[in-house]
Amino acid sequence: QTPGGITVETPRTKQRAVIYCRVSTDRQEADGESLDYQEDKCRRYAELHDIDIVAVLKEVKSGFIHYSFRDQLTLVRSFVRDHLADTVIVWDLRRFSRNFVHSAMIFAEIENNGGEIVSVSENIDNSLTGKLI
């Protein structure tokens, strides 16, 4: 707070991101898209785009399980909701859910809380047309 009781916020110059990595099974962990592989690719993306990483959250759970029952994904959502991160970085969008409706709900929640989702392996069109498709 400054003299006169005026609160001045220092503008943030860098994005803050949480990285979310998920595999369905131990077998998938060994088949090439391991948690470590996903984390490495996401970290490289963040470094390339000058994004600060505030947390890396990993879990071994099926993408068919309702997203509210996945503890680490719930934590990802809370990071954005509580404005501790503005970006969620994933290797690919299937890390969120194998259910289109669930994925759409996660996207909407993150966006409604001022966040964005970045998929390292896919190009996400955040335009109005892209969102409608």
**Could you read off the pLDDT of 81-102 as tens digits, one per residue?**
999 999 999 998 877 777 788 8
**Could you read off the pLDDT of 22-65 as tens digits, one per residue?**
888 766 655 668 999 999 999 999 999 999 999 999 998 766 66
Residues 6+ apart with CB under 8 A from 91: 21, 33, 37, 38, 41, 42, 119, 120, 121
The pLDDT value recorded for residue 102 is: 81
Average pLDDT score over the chain: 81
Query: What domains are defined for the chain?
Result: 16-132 (3.40.50.1390)
Q: What is the pLDDT of residue 70?
A: 77
This prediction has a pTM of: 0.79
Residue-level pLDDT at 5: 63
pLDDT at 128: 44
Interaxial angle between packed helices 100-112 and 71-81, expressed in degrees from 0 to 180 and rounded to the nearest 10: 30
Phi first, then psi, for residue 76 (nearest 5°) are -55, -50
| Residue 110 reports pLDDT greater than 60 | yes
Angle at 117 between CA 100 and CA 87, to 5 degrees: 150
Under DSSP, the state recorded for 84 is S
Q: Alpha-carbon distance 76 to 20, whole Å?
A: 7
For residues 101-120, average pLDDT: 90
> Whose CA is closest to 93, among 48, 53, 49, 130?
130
